[in-house]
Structure 1
Amino acid sequence: MSTEKQILVLGGTVFLSLAIARHALERGHRVTVASRGTTGEPPEGAEFVKLDRATGEGLDALRGRAFDAVFDVARIPAHVGPVLDALAGNASHWSFVSTISVYKHFDAVSDDLHEPTAADSTDPSLEAYGASKVACEQLVRERLGDKAFITRPGLIVGPADRNDRLGYWPLRFAEGGEVLAPGPRERPVQWIDVDDYASWLLDAADTGEHGTVDAIDEPLGFGAFLDQVGDALTEHGVLAERPDLTWVSQEFLLEQGVNPWSGPDSLGMWVPTPDYDGFQTRPTGPAVAAGFRASRLGDTVRRWWDANAAAPQLKAGLTRQKEGEVLAAWHDAPVGEGLAGLDAERRFAVPRAETPAYDG
């Protein structure tokens, strides 16, 4: 166990920031959680400070206090500057959670970034998300220098993901029957486990890691991904037999109104290929060099199942009724039916990745 430290988590009540606070407490650190307190409860044992970045409420309660490590998941640049003014001078290490949505291109791996928004921008729109995170990164680097560790996650998965992008698949497998799968099988899919991420960020604070790296595990083909989900559930005693997978072309899925990525009528973790192949194949080497170690997918699936098995219910995704309609249409469709009549904007209207770590 590491020496007790003073830890500040800006957020600390939802998903990644909650996991960071929880893991820090388990390591024996003294943890302060600062948030609006409207999206959830901080973990037991943490000090709570009410903080509203939009108004500045709560900053005085933190001003002048010293912290060994600060963790922030903010997305609005105007909410970052005042916190840095109040805390940067007394923070030994600053971990900022950004996003791979800072990159301009998703069809191939590229390091070209969006132009940043203004440092005082308050635009909360999804369209400004990547550019806003670029501006947030710049503010943190300017104030913290080599005390700043900036990580850019892709899809963060785990039991408390409010979008249930990973969770769609173990629950659907457990229900059995014919399962709609988004072809082709070799389509890449990439993620990071929320507990692995939280543990790594705390380790990085201990070792003084700094710089900017992507936060992501090695990609898998979608077929291998679903095979490993099935393996995990079988080994865990959830499945007696594997469900039947029907691989449906992405063109037909889009034509039938199935949405990529997340939300209503979506297939979790699916985005079109090749337009998003770069988004799903970011390099993992820099994160590994900075100390990141990933769980096996089977362990991530089992953690999700154990956390949700008592009352398994998806918060997002494709309904069984919609899935049945699409499967019926697929079986009746003429060979070769696809995207005729759909323009490019309709075919690949996929939102930029939004980090589920953000909790306001």
Structure 2
Amino acid sequence: MTSVLVLGGTGWLSGHVARRWIADGADVTCLARGGRPAPEGARLVVADRGEPDAYSAVAGQPWDEVVDISSDVGFVASAVAELADSAEHWTYVSSLSVYADSDVEGVDESGALLEPARAGDEYDYGRAKVAAEASARSALTDRAAIVRPGLIVGPGDPSDRFGYWVSRFALAGDEPVLAPETLGRSAQIIDVRDLAAFLVGLAADRWTGIANAIGDPLPLADVLDDARAAAAHTGDLVAADDAWLLAHDVRHWMGPRSLPLWLPPDMHGFSTRSNAVYRNAGGAFRPLAETLRDTLADERERGLDRERRSGLSRDEELAVLADLL
């Protein structure tokens, strides 16, 4: 039986990975801080990765696969130091945020990276991922898969970004919805379930290398149109230009008072990364309509009008629309 150690396993992506391995018949151990259960069928080892003895319960035993998704440079380095010698294969889940150039289109895995984070630096997600990649690659040169996802979406997404649109269209019904100007804008996503399947498949094949894990670039206008169709929205889609939105304290991409997926014009390369390696390594994509349908069902269950980590509240949106219309 394949023995798998998931560093995490109780969160969103890592939970999907653990469940996928379990479905494939693996013996799965999740090492996490506790507070959330491990997926059914997995063994939970409660440990704080910031403590010196964090890996004492899992070190020294053979692992066919170790999966790590952390962006904490110290956590990744310590895991590699303690577990690399006993791992047949290691998958580190990095990010497309490692690339230095967001204004260059079609960047593949050879693209220039940000400077790696160093001890004492202020936290920077992209630079931390670069440093963490380096830890994994230096100790596991012939046993590591480095996977760089872009925007991960689907049911249960804790970031509230992709789900904002299909949820908002459903909440608005026959009333207007605010949108950015979409001309020349694109979006790239990957469904969390497709990503989990890819990560498990790589490990099963002992694949090594680096892969951008992301879907094809899609016109942002098409994504919004498909989200409207999934939600059966019949109201107007009211677009405002960048300058007007920024003047009204509407922010790009994510977080409070944002329009998710809307990027600054100088970041047009961010959502056009190459996915050729992913495809050649067996990566697949489910239809966007399926991801939207399942995301909407999850959004309805969680509450269309709930407080969100990203996006405008409906009251904020209506106030902005009142100034625009």
Q: Is the 8 A contact 1:188 1:280 kept in 2?
A: yes
1:145 counterpart SS class: coil
Q: Is the 8 A contact 2:66 2:90 kept in 1?
A: yes
Structure 2 counterpart of 1:115: 115
Q: Is the 8 A contact 1:149 1:210 kept in 2?
A: yes
2:278 counterpart SS class: helix
2:138 counterpart SS class: helix
Structure 2 counterpart of 1:256: 248
Are positions 1:179 and 2:177 aligned together? yes
Structure 2 counterpart of 1:329: 323
Alpha-carbon distance in structure 2 between the residues aligned to 1:145 and 1:243: 54
- When normalised by structure 2's length, the TM-score is 0.92
Alpha-carbon distance in structure 2 between the residues aligned to 1:311 and 1:92: 40
- State how 1:182-197 maps to structure 2 within 5 Å: 182-197=180-195
Q: Is the 8 A contact 2:190 2:215 kept in 1?
A: yes
Are positions 1:93 and 2:89 aligned together? yes
Q: Is the 8 A contact 2:145 2:210 kept in 1?
A: yes
Structure 1 residues 295 and 124, CA gap change in structure 2 (3 angstroms): farther
Alpha-carbon distance in structure 2 between the residues aligned to 1:33 and 1:117: 27
1:95 deviation in Å?
Answer: 0.5
Q: Is the 8 A contact 1:181 1:246 kept in 2?
A: yes
1:123 deviation in Å?
Answer: 5.2
1:314 deviation in Å?
Answer: 4.9
Q: Is the 8 A contact 1:50 1:57 kept in 2?
A: no
Structure 1 counterpart of 2:258: 266
Q: What one-letter code is carried by the residue in structure 2 that aligns with 1:291?
A: G
1:42 deviation in Å?
Answer: 1.5
Q: Is the 8 A contact 2:186 2:271 kept in 1?
A: yes
Alpha-carbon distance in structure 1 between the residues aligned to 2:37 and 2:128: 27
Alpha-carbon distance in structure 1 between the residues aligned to 2:10 and 2:122: 20
1:243 deviation in Å?
Answer: 3.0
Are positions 1:166 and 2:162 aligned together? yes
Q: What one-letter code is carried by the residue in structure 1 that aligns with 2:255?
A: G
Structure 1 counterpart of 2:140: 144
Are positions 1:310 and 2:306 aligned together? no
Q: Is the 8 A contact 1:49 1:58 kept in 2?
A: no
Q: What one-letter code is carried by the residue in structure 1 that aligns with 2:34?
A: G
Q: Is the 8 A contact 1:37 1:50 kept in 2?
A: yes
Aligned pair partner of 1:287 in 264, 278, 294: 278
1:104 deviation in Å?
Answer: 1.3
CA RMSD of aligned residues (A): 1.6
1:302 deviation in Å?
Answer: 1.6
CA deviation map 1:238-272 (0-9, x unaligned): x3x53321121122111110111111111122112
Aligned pair count reads: 316
Q: What one-letter code is carried by the residue in structure 1 that aligns with 2:165?
A: W
Alpha-carbon distance in structure 1 between the residues aligned to 2:288 and 2:3: 32
Structure 1 residues 124 and 199, CA gap change in structure 2 (3 angstroms): farther
Alpha-carbon distance in structure 2 between the residues aligned to 1:314 and 1:166: 15
Alpha-carbon distance in structure 1 between the residues aligned to 2:49 and 2:237: 47
Alpha-carbon distance in structure 2 between the residues aligned to 1:68 and 1:35: 19
- When normalised by structure 1's length, the TM-score is 0.84
Alpha-carbon distance in structure 2 between the residues aligned to 1:259 and 1:93: 41
CA deviation map 1:12-32 (0-9, x unaligned): 111111110111112221110
Structure 1 counterpart of 2:202: 204
- State how 1:28-107 maps to structure 2 within 5 Å: 28-38=25-35, 40-107=36-103
Alpha-carbon distance in structure 1 between the residues aligned to 2:66 and 2:261: 30
Q: Which runs of 5+ in 2 are unaligned?
A: none
CA deviation map 1:23-46 (0-9, x unaligned): 1112221110001124x3221111
Q: Is the 8 A contact 1:178 1:243 kept in 2?
A: yes
Alpha-carbon distance in structure 2 between the residues aligned to 1:276 and 1:314: 28
Alpha-carbon distance in structure 1 between the residues aligned to 2:260 and 2:182: 15
1:21 counterpart SS class: helix
Q: What one-letter code is carried by the residue in structure 1 that aligns with 2:246?
A: L
2:5 counterpart SS class: strand
1:83 deviation in Å?
Answer: 1.2
Q: What one-letter code is carried by the residue in structure 2 that aligns with 1:7?
A: V
Alpha-carbon distance in structure 2 between the residues aligned to 1:243 and 1:203: 43
2:237 counterpart SS class: strand
Higher relative contact order (CA 8 A, sep 6+): 1
Q: Is the 8 A contact 2:167 2:299 kept in 1?
A: no
Q: What one-letter code is carried by the residue in structure 2 that aligns with 1:78?
A: G
> Percent same amino acid among aligned pairs?
39
